[in-house]
Structure 1
Amino acid sequence: MDRTIRTCEGRTRLGLLRAVGLGAALPALALSLAVAQAAPASAEGRTAAAPPAATTAWGAYLSALHASRRKDSGRASAYFETAAPEARNRLRFLILALRSHVLAGRMERATAAARRTVALSGGGPTMARLVLALHAAKQERFGAAQDHLDRIAHDSVMRLLLPLLRAWMSLGRHKDPDLALDEHRDLEEVVQFRPFRLLHRAHLLDVAGRPQRAAEAYAAVTATPAIGSLRVAETRSNFLFRTGDAAAGFETIDRFLAVNPDSMTGRLLRARYEADAPVAPPVGSPADGAAEALLNVASALNLADRPEQALPLARLAVWMRPRDAASAFALGTVLDGDGRHRDAIAVFRTIGSGSVYNWEARKSAAAALVELERYDESSAILEKMAAEMPGRFDALWLLGNVHRSRSAFAEAVAAYDRAYERIADIAPRHWNLLYARGIALERSGQWPRAERDFLRALKLNPGQPYVLNYLAYSWVDRGEQLERARGMLEEAVRKRPNDGYIVDSVGWVEYRLGNFEAAVRHLERATELRPHDPIINQHLGDAYWRAGRRHEARFQWRRALWLGPEEAERKKTEDRLQNGLPPFRPIRRQ
């Protein structure tokens, strides 16, 4: 039974956006923002696609909607442009076109659509006013930018973004940092906004030429949980090196690396400082400050699993600061997390070899290729990276994940073994490598080694719920350590009560022990949490059958087939529908 995907936490690249966000502050922010639902998200444009043929006004509209739902905003943008004039003058049409243009990165079209939208509606929706404000800021027309921002409602994510943008526009217009910082007063009402307020205070004072006050503001930022973010360490150390305090700059980077010792980006940044390379400020103007605000808020939204709102802000951040690698990496990460893998790969590949983000961008591109089932390309990238850096294990770890994703478990074990050999001192943070290798070992029939890896992973990270679940499930499947497995699963479900896979495992233990009514209760709950998983539905059907509920059992088995199980499980389920289950043979309690 394939539990590889069911029990894994996710691909290696998940969470990489933390490197360009505000670290520990962002999950808290996600709870504080009353984020409104956006329209269905469209995608970064497939610019290589041929433009659509001329069509009727409504034909273009329907084609654009279809492309948007397929997350192909490049084609949607093109369809909106080919529509007849009478369609382009409809407000709803313009709003959808504007969003598609932004998501496709076609900012000239977006600006034109924003102007038409404002002219037609009078007030103008948020996206139109935001695009026009940023366009004005790029041209250093800060008064006009402020006028547009003043017409945006102070709600949803704009509770955070608007004060940050207004402050930057005020600085550009009046050259008075104190007047600009007065725009931050609304941020003081929400404690989760504090890291953003402090960081942008520091950036703003730096751009305004107040180095002493900027130094104090950066020091205040590092006293918050946001110091766990690479972006904070990067911007503060950048300031310290530019102002002549190299010792404090190295200390800032070293504090980050103490928490994140495997960060290649952090190590490359430190190496750059050691080489005494020129240091340019990441935020050097009010327009740069606006771009940084967009980047930070996009990062927060992405970590809060709001890619439909993160994506346009990430796009706008790149528009405002097109040469900033951190913004490009953030955009690629948002695109990839939202299933727009081709577009993500294209963005990751724009991050050149001279950038400290290049290593992670290449890894992320390799992981995105897996989603497109381009396994050979992904493996080639990672093998090349592993050869370039023989002292690092992360490319080989990801290579193991690539092999495991295509069920090449023996190859996965070999890659994980190579990664393991590169680690001089196994530390608690390496539990995940042992867990991943344990899965590959179990799936390739090497149970004794797999069991040792799972137990060692638990020693490194006691009580880790995913390891508890996989090991306990495996024991139950093998008829071993049943009571110990039950205790481990109870602990796992206490820690992850809404994880359908863990709840399923608890139900399966009860089933294997012959406690069918208890099994039904847990498995019904598991199907509520994971209604589209064929294995969980099959398990519930089995429990119903043993509990004497034959009609419900057959219904669940039919549903399991409809959900598309793997071939081996499909055959088992078809046999159940035809013949039912054989007499139950309880396994001995341990």
Structure 2
Amino acid sequence: MLTIPVAAPAGASVDPQAALHAYARARLADGDGAMALAVDNYRAALTLDPDSVDVARRSYVQALESGDRALALRSAALLEEQGALPRDGTLLLIGEALGRKDWAGARALTARMAEEGNFSFLAPIITSWITLGEGHYVAPVVAGQDRFAALAQRYIDEHVALQALDRGDVAAAVPAIRRAIALRGGESAALRLTLAAQLAARGAKAEALMLVPAGEATFARARADLTRGKVKAAAVTPVQGYARLLSRLASDIASDNSGMALSVRLARIATFADPGGTEVQLVAARLLSAGGLAQGGVAEARKIPVDGWYGALGQAELVDALAAAGDRQAALALARSLAAEPGAGSERQVRLGRLLADMNDFDGAAAAFRAAQADYGDGQVPWALLLFEGSALEQGERWDEARVVLERAMALAPNEPVVLNYLGYAQIERRQNVAEALDLIKKASALKPQDASIADSLGWARYVTGDVAGAVPVLERAAAGAPADATINEHLGDALWSAGRRYEARYAWSAASLFAQGDGAERIAAKVEQGLKPEYAAP
């Protein structure tokens, strides 16, 4: 086996052929998910041919995904020389300048970022951290006429609060804290812990305790320390504030799956800027796991001390990362342990329930979702928890129980499309109360007309009720919205066949067969070969 050195001797000449071999091996390893091997070979290729923009560009992306800061900076420098640095590369350089306390350099790079446009709305917040580092603080200001004003406002309060606490101004921090936490809602646990520590370290114990709810396992250690007055927390530095900003942006971008690759890169840049920052590690763990880099997610989650304030949050992320990495038994054991703790709360039960459902233990999942409802009084249970329980019962073939729970969910949320669709489609599948079920799905479709899954339900319900002509265009719209969905394409094929469009039906079934599994795959294959027969009809 030819061994490519990861570093060439000083003064070594460029060897494009060897670089090409290393680059090819890197791409193959990258495609196979062998991240460490890919990084080694990208590093080698970059050393052997530092003028190659293609090698530097791939090295840059792989370095960010793998968390190799040195390779990221090296490839970024080469891309910068070639005028080919991606826009997020400017963010990487800003973090490095802030880490060196090179305020002038950070200021210049922030101005460049604003000119580049993509991340210009971050400039007021980054500039405010720079002024704090320089010793003449100026609060972030967003001009009302700025076209990105609303977007920038989403992030400002958290930083105003942290900067005020850095200056010891608790009175200015408290209203900003309230706004920041209200904005983040159910995602505010880590932020609450950080702000509570900062408040307590500045003598605002009562305000700190207000941020950490009593009786919840997630906050138990923090609350105990706060009550005893056992809190020390250094002020957040400019580079740490910057890392938090990128991390928050990465999390928001990830809400749109099309932006997952960028989210992962931003999360990694945040960890480079603040390698010991627990909140940025939490976000990185979550996004790496969701972005197909689960081993990296496991590594980030394991960096978070189990016995620290953020330990419970880190363990929750570790459950998800382990499951995404394929180690479901370890994930399940940890999830059960977390759910069994006093004051575990509904979130842990839901995480356990989802994991059990993914492992086809629907009875266990239903029990976990039911346990999640224990935190709520009569009439206060969120409809989503009832939907989770009803779904688990339905998938576990306990339909009579499921229907009761799903009808409770609908009573609480009569205009929630996902509830209407689930209850309606479950009855259509069983050919029960077909007319009433069709009405539920029609209502769901009217409330959310662009949803491909709901369009499929509506088309299939029309097909089941004998309206083939009305079913076909709706199912065609559903298939256009979700071309990789096996169920939708199978439904479309059945409807097309029944409408006499048999060539198109086989085409739709063939598309379904690319993604179908198990019994469905066998049924669809039979239809492609023999056409639609009663025994091959979709359920």
TM-score category, normalised to shorter length: 0.7 to 0.9
Q: Which is worse superposed, 52-61 or 162-171? A: 52-61
| 1:309/1:70 CA distance change after superposition, 3 Å | farther
Partner Cα separation in structure 2 for residue 69 and residue 572 of structure 1: 32
The code of the aligned residue for 1:310 comes to S
Q: Secondary structure at the match of 1:494?
A: helix
| 1:477/1:521 CA distance change after superposition, 3 Å | same
The code of the aligned residue for 1:140 comes to K
Q: Highest relative contact order (Cα 8 Å, sep 6+), 1 or 2?
A: 1
Offset of 1:239 from its aligned partner?
Answer: 4.0
The CA deviation string for residues 391-416 of structure 1, in whole angstroms up to 9 with x for no partner, is 54544433332232132334434544
Partner Cα separation in structure 2 for residue 392 and residue 539 of structure 1: 40
The code of the aligned residue for 2:389 comes to R
Question: Does residue 342 of the first structure (1) align with residue 301 of the second (2)?
Answer: no
Q: Secondary structure at the match of 2:500?
A: coil
Contact 1:56 1:84 survives alignment (8 Å): no
The code of the aligned residue for 1:567 comes to G
The code of the aligned residue for 2:201 comes to R
The code of the aligned residue for 1:568 comes to D
Q: How many residues align?
A: 517
The code of the aligned residue for 1:412 comes to A
Partner Cα separation in structure 2 for residue 121 and residue 451 of structure 1: 63
| 1:264/1:336 CA distance change after superposition, 3 Å | farther
Q: Secondary structure at the match of 2:49?
A: helix
Q: Secondary structure at the match of 2:254?
A: helix
Matches for 1:333-372 after TM superposition, within 5 Å: 333-372=286-325
Match of 1:219 among 175, 196, 206: 175
Offset of 1:579 from its aligned partner?
Answer: 4.3
Partner Cα separation in structure 1 for residue 460 and residue 376 of structure 2: 39
Offset of 1:134 from its aligned partner?
Answer: 2.5
Q: Which is worse superposed, 459-468 or 522-531? A: 459-468
Question: Does residue 576 of the first structure (1) align with residue 527 of the second (2)?
Answer: yes
Contact 1:199 1:217 survives alignment (8 Å): no
Match of residue 447 from structure 2: 495
| 1:113/1:511 CA distance change after superposition, 3 Å | closer
The CA deviation string for residues 471-518 of structure 1, in whole angstroms up to 9 with x for no partner, is 111211222212221121112112322222211111111111100011
Q: Which is worse superposed, 184-193 or 532-541? A: 184-193
| 1:102/1:247 CA distance change after superposition, 3 Å | same
The code of the aligned residue for 1:398 comes to R
Match of 1:403 among 356, 379, 388: 356
Partner Cα separation in structure 2 for residue 481 and residue 342 of structure 1: 47
Match of residue 207 from structure 2: 248
| 1:572/1:353 CA distance change after superposition, 3 Å | same
Contact 2:196 2:212 survives alignment (8 Å): yes
Partner Cα separation in structure 2 for residue 52 and residue 78 of structure 1: 9
Q: State TM-score, norm by structure 2.
A: 0.85
Question: Does residue 121 of the first structure (1) align with residue 82 of the second (2)?
Answer: yes
Match of residue 408 from structure 2: 456
Q: State TM-score, norm by structure 1.
A: 0.78
Question: Does residue 307 of the first structure (1) align with residue 267 of the second (2)?
Answer: no
Offset of 1:280 from its aligned partner?
Answer: 0.8
The code of the aligned residue for 2:301 comes to F
Offset of 1:243 from its aligned partner?
Answer: 3.2
Offset of 1:154 from its aligned partner?
Answer: 2.8
The code of the aligned residue for 1:566 comes to Q
Partner Cα separation in structure 2 for residue 307 and residue 143 of structure 1: 32
The CA deviation string for residues 206-264 of structure 1, in whole angstroms up to 9 with x for no partner, is 33x2x34x63254145346526334554454444333333333333445xx9xxx9x75
Offset of 1:75 from its aligned partner?
Answer: 3.6
Partner Cα separation in structure 1 for residue 161 and residue 376 of structure 2: 39
Matches for 1:143-182 after TM superposition, within 5 Å: 143-173=104-134, 175-178=135-138, 181=139
Question: Does residue 62 of the first structure (1) align with residue 15 of the second (2)?
Answer: no
Match of residue 192 from structure 1: 151
Partner Cα separation in structure 1 for residue 144 and residue 228 of structure 2: 39
Unaligned runs of 5+ in 1: 1-50, 585-590
Sequence identity percentage: 25
Question: Does residue 97 of the first structure (1) align with residue 59 of the second (2)?
Answer: yes
Match of 1:554 among 506, 511, 528: 506
Offset of 1:72 from its aligned partner?
Answer: 5.6
The code of the aligned residue for 2:310 comes to Y
Match of 1:327 among 280, 286, 289: 280
Unaligned runs of 5+ in 2: 7-16
RMSD value, Cα: 3.2
Match of residue 399 from structure 2: 447
